[in-house]
Structure formats: C-alpha cells, structure tokens
Chains A and B, each alone.
Chain A
Amino acid sequence: MMSTRHLKRSIIIIISTFVLLLLIFTISVATGFASLSPDRLLPTLFGNGTAKENLILFTFRLPRILIAVLAGMGLALSGAILQSITRNPLADPGILGINSGAGLFVVFFVLLFGNSTGNHLYLLPLFALIGGLITAIFIYLFSYKKGEGIQPGRMLLVGVGLAAAINGALLTLASKMAREEYDFFANWAAGRIWGDDWLFVFALLPWLVLLIPFIYFKSNTLNTMALNEELSVGLGVKTNKERYTLLLVSVALAAASVSVSGGIAFIGLLAPHIARSLVGPRHQLFLPVAAMFGGLLLLSADTIGRVLLDTIGIPAGVIVSFIGAPYFLYLMAKK
C-alpha cells in the first residue's frame, strides 16, 4: 500500500495547489479593466468594501472567476474518468465530440431566440447540456457492438468522426446567421467564458456538488479499472455496468461545464496528466489535484486572455488549445 511519506508529500501538493489557485484568483481580481487591488480583496470579500468595490468584485469578477474554476474542475474530472475507464491517456471530452454536440444546440438556440439578451438566455446552458448528452448517447450507441460491448478505442474513433460531421453541419448552419448572432456563436465556440452572472454559477454548481462526491466514492473502482480489464473483473468490479455509469457521469460533467463556459477542449487532458505526474495514479489523491488544476488552468487562461487584449479579450478556449494541443501531440509521440 501507500507509504506515509508519499501520502505526506501528496497532501503537501494538494495544499500547495490550493494556495496556487488562491493566488491566481487574487491576480485575476487585480488585473485588467475595473480591478481590485489585493489589499482590498479580503475586506471587500467580507462585506467592508465601498459600493464600487462591491460592484467590481461581486457583479463583475466573482461570477466569472467561479465559472472558470468550476467549469475547469468539471472538465478535468470528466477527462480523468474518461482516461481511466478507456485506459487511453489521450481521451478528452472536447476531442470526443461533446463540445461539437453542445455547439450544435447552441446554434439551434441562437437560430430560435436570436442573440438578444433577455431571460431566455438562461436557457442556453440547458440547450448545450441537452446537445452534449444527445451526442454522448449517439457515441455510445454507435460504438456499442454486440458481444463486445463498448470498446474504448472504438468509442474515441466514433467520437472523432461524429465531431467532424457535426462541425461540418454546424459551421454551414452558422454561416447563414445574422452577423451579431454569428459573433455570439463564434465566441461560444472559441471558448469565451460568457456566462458572467450568478445564475450560471448556480446552474453549474449542483452538477459538481452531486457528481464530485460520487466520483470520489468510486475512486477504488477507477483504480482497478485503470489497471486492466481482467484484473478489475477478477477483483469483483462489474466492469460494464460500472463503466457505463462512470461514462455517463463523465459526459454529464463535461456537458454541464461546457454549457456555461463555451467550447473548451484539452483541459480534460492537461489537468489529469499534471495531477498524475505529481501524486501518482491513485484516484483518491489524484482526483482532487486534477480538479484543482483544471480550475487553475481555465482561470489562468481566462485571465491571460482578458488581460492580453484588453478590450476584446482572447477567448480562454483559444489559449487552452494553444497550450493543450502541443502537449497532446507530445504525449502521443512519447507513448
């Protein structure tokens, strides 16, 4: 089993990751247009800020930051589960086509409602979620083969193919939109964190609150599954049933995250890999680190994008892909 020294080291890593996350949070609040200096952060947070400071923190920054962190966590965990159950280190919900499915439904949404801001905007995450889930069901159905069940590699292939087809379809649909509508969609697809409103935080939070404990509870199952199939059957894991449940959880997390954050790929790839290299493959330790790194990465990307080009901002998804894709190729070459 695990040596106490390793455990100690892992706990130190978990704590320092958390501290790092807080640091990025402070930086994110303190930079860019309408910023709040670090020494005013704590007083404002505890209710002693001026009206202006309150406005900046609670209306502008905090919701957006929380969405970045929560979505990053969701994507990271989703990727971690996918990698473990498929035993394929290259699995990522974005590459698997879930983003494309969600994107297609965002297009439908814009075609239905236009891009005018109004109460129906709160329906958008729901649309994206349904799109992501439907895509996942299709991936599932198409990769299911009688007698073999769902073979992970085939599932990835099916996902990539489905994504290519959906992308073709949605791009052609989107090019027919009015200009402003198209801009809205393009920003969503490029992964600009757009839902900077408390309501979106509350739309995303329940998923994480419900599913994270469930995943953590399944840590041991994931441990054995990540090793090899025969072994996990030998150890009494009902492989297929467990795998399907976990797959569903993973997809739900990804779809929920993407629905408020926009089309962001590669977080689900990067964060688990960093976590695994830091604390090893045991899910009990590696899942929390992966989740925190997910939040950290997406928040950093969003902050960088926001500060780099001040008025327009570069969508977080573009920055994540910029780092994530080369890393993906590196992983592939190394394997």
Chain B
Amino acid sequence: MGLSNVMKNNTLNEAKEKKIYARPAVASIILALSCLLLVGSLVLAISVGAASISFADVWQAVFAYQQGNEDHQIIRSIRLPRELGAAVVGAAFAVSGAIMQGMTKNPLADPGLLGLNAGASLGLAIAFSYVGNTNYMIIMLFSFIGAGIAACLVFGFSAMNRGGMTPLKITLAGAAVTAFLSSIGEGIALINKLSQSIAFWTAGGVSGTTWAQLQIVTPTVLLGIMIAIMLSRSLTVLSFGEDVAKGLGQRTFIVKAVLMTVVLILAGAAVSLVGAIAFVGLLIPHIVRFLVGNDYRWIIPCSAVIGSVFLVLADTAARMVNPPFETPMGAIVAILGLPFFLYLARKGRSLI
C-alpha cells in the first residue's frame, strides 16, 4: 500500500470521525416506507377528484383495463399521466436540489431560487416564439439549455468572487439572474403576444400532462437520478469540502461537472413539464437529511421518492381545495415552502 493510500485512508477516517452520520437502518426503513407511501398517494390521487373513483377501479384500470369503462378511461387518459407527471417532477426537483446543496455547501440551494427555473422558462418562451411547439423534445431541449445558461451565470459569477460565496450572495445572484432572464423571457413573450400561453404553461401545474410527454421526461429524469446515485459517494465527500475531496484523490472538477449536468437535465426536464416551481428542491432534501443523516447515498434516493410523494399530494390538495376548480399547485407549494425558507434564513448566522 503506497503512502498516498495511507494518507487517503487517514483523511477518510478523519472525515468519517468528524462528519458522516449515516443511519442505514433508519434510511432503508424510510426508503421502503416512502415507496409504499408513494404508491398509496398515487392511488389516492387517482381516485379522488371531480369524478370520484373507487380504489378497486383504480387497480383494475391499471392492471385489467376495460375499453368501455368510463372510469377506466378517465384514469388512463387523464389522471394517471397527470399523477405520474407530478411524481417524476417531484423527484427531479428534489434530487437536483439535494445535489446543489451538497455541491455548493449552501443550505439555501434550490433550482428555483438560483435562477435555473427562470432560465428554463426563458428557453420555453424562445421555443414557443421562434420554433413552434410541435415537438416536445425540442421544447425540453430549449428549457435544458436555458437552465444551463442560468447556471453558468450564477456559478460563473460566484466562482469569480474571490471573497468566497456565502449563501446570501449566491441567493442574491440567483435573484438577479432570475430577474434578468425572466424579463428577457417576458419581453419576448410580450412582443410575440404569447405571454399568457407561456404563463399558462409555466403555472399550469401537471394538469394536461400527456403520455407522449411522459415518454420523454420519465427516462430522462430516471437517467439523471441514476447518475446521481452512482456519484452519491463522491458527492458525500464533496459536501465535506473541496479540500477533503481533493485529499481523498477525487477529481473534483469532473465530478462537479457531471453533477452539474445532472442538475441541469433534471431541472430542465421538470420545468418543461410543469413550469417553474420553487422550494421543492429546498424543502425535501432538508427533511430527508434530518431523517437519514448526511450520506448522499441515502439522501438522493430518499429525496427522489419523498419528492414524488410531496408533489403528488400537493397536486391532489390543489384539486381538492375548491373542487371542481383547481387551485394552482405552484401556490400550494409556495405556501408550504416559504415558512421553511424563512426558518432556514432566520436560523443561520453563517448564511450571511
């Protein structure tokens, strides 16, 4: 065993002694429970609504579909894609938030707050205005590129700051980038008189999700989450600080680049389906970290599943508050997420 390996082990032990407090037993129970919860909330979400459908019918519609049954048709063509969409988007936002929080060591990181969602929405506006909205793949590509531009702006400028980036500064940069990109998007939309169609898209929640969209978004998001899980060990090390990671022989640049790409793919895909929803990526990873400790091998899968549960329930709540009208899901998520953000902002002195 070479000297460098010994050193590696020493630093690893140090890091372990200092910080890792994973709770694998608890984490696996939570993961199993939240998977069950996800199935349960999906069934619940599909059965309640303007037309109430019994649980047994939900089961049959999925596993023993009957062509002539009206309930089955509602489930297959409207509710099922919608709730699956909510689940996919919830997982995407939660995982991208978790990755960003780990990478930047910034507890306030969230694709919405850091401007990624605004970038993706700008991409949507450009796609709608100049490309036409015929091909969903192209729309998703544009929103992915938009999120990428936003991320480059925020993190590029953050990296240029020699004084070190506090969460306050990154959050302010995110706010500025959001203002910048959304005003460009708004300008483009106003000039092309598409403002409301885009607003409807970005605010419409998951209603109107189609199978065709899911066929593209679901594999993309799953791929992103899988890469994230594969890199979760490195992410844990990275979350202890770049020095620790380098000391352990990690090629931090490559790891960071890949993780950032995953964040962009997840945020871009999610925004292209549901529009800009802030706070999911902030809220879920914090709850998960509280439950399972700070090992990202557990944080990422748990975030994915709990994020899904959260958005499925949020969407169900949105449909149930004032039926048959739908309360916008974004509003509900914001109402739930804001107190949490305020709590975080008030708690830490180190943030500023």
Q: Judging by beta carbons under 8 Å apart, are B279 and A318 in contact?
A: no
Chain B residues near A160: list those with CB within 8 A.
Answer: 113, 171-172, 174-175
Q: Does B48 contact A (CB under 8 A)?
A: no
- Measured in the bound complex, the distance between the Cα atoms of B199 and A176 in whole Å is 9
Q: Judging by beta carbons under 8 Å apart, are B160 and A333 in contact?
A: yes
Q: Judging by beta carbons under 8 Å apart, are A329 and B191 in contact?
A: no
Q: Does B52 contact A (CB under 8 A)?
A: no
B203 contacts which of A95, A175, A321 (Cβ < 8 Å)? A175
Q: Does A157 contact B (CB under 8 A)?
A: yes
Chain A residues near B204: list those with CB within 8 A.
Answer: 175
Q: Judging by beta carbons under 8 Å apart, are A314 and B352 in contact?
A: no
Q: Judging by beta carbons under 8 Å apart, are A142 and B346 in contact?
A: yes
Mask, B311-345, CB within 8 Å of A = 1, is: 00000000000000000111101110110011001
Q: Judging by beta carbons under 8 Å apart, are A186 and B346 in contact?
A: no
Which B residues from 276 to 293 make CB contacts under 8 A with A?
A: 276-279
Q: Judging by beta carbons under 8 Å apart, are A164 and B191 in contact?
A: no
Min CB–CB distance A114 → chain B (angstroms): 15
Q: Judging by beta carbons under 8 Å apart, are A265 and B179 in contact?
A: yes
Min CB–CB distance B325 → chain A (angstroms): 9
A182 contacts which of B174, B180, B199 (Cβ < 8 Å)? B199
Chain B residues near A325: list those with CB within 8 A.
Answer: 176-177, 179-180, 183
Chain B: interface secondary structure?
helix
Chain A residues near B334: list those with CB within 8 A.
Answer: 164-166, 168-169
Q: Which residue of A lies closest to B345 (CB)?
A: A157
A318 contacts which of B153, B183, B345, B346 (Cβ < 8 Å)? B183
- Measured in the bound complex, the distance between the Cα atoms of B190 and A315 in whole Å is 9
- Measured in the bound complex, the distance between the Cα atoms of B193 and A187 in whole Å is 11
**Nearest 9 Cβ contacts at the A-B interface:** A172-B328, A325-B180, A153-B352, A321-B183, A168-B334, A333-B160, A318-B187, A165-B338, A175-B203
Min CB–CB distance A224 → chain B (angstroms): 22
Q: Does B189 contact A (CB under 8 A)?
A: yes
Q: Does B108 contact A (CB under 8 A)?
A: yes
- Measured in the bound complex, the distance between the Cα atoms of B204 and A267 in whole Å is 32
- Measured in the bound complex, the distance between the Cα atoms of B205 and A90 in whole Å is 33
Chain B residues near A175: list those with CB within 8 A.
Answer: 196, 199-200, 202-204, 328
Chain B residues near A322: list those with CB within 8 A.
Answer: 180, 183-184
A335 contacts which of B108, B163, B184, B351 (Cβ < 8 Å)? B163
Min CB–CB distance B103 → chain A (angstroms): 19
Q: Does A120 contact B (CB under 8 A)?
A: no
Q: Does B173 contact A (CB under 8 A)?
A: yes
- Measured in the bound complex, the distance between the Cα atoms of B277 and A171 in whole Å is 11
Known: A95-B176, A165-B279, A329-B173. A186 touches B190 (CB 8 A): yes
Q: Does A300 contact B (CB under 8 A)?
A: no
Query: What are 20 A-B contacts with C-beta separation under 8 Å?
Result: A95-B176, A160-B172, A161-B113, A161-B342, A161-B345, A162-B338, A165-B279, A165-B334, A165-B337, A168-B334, A172-B203, A172-B329, A173-B331, A175-B200, A186-B199, A189-B186, A312-B191, A329-B173, A332-B157, A332-B173
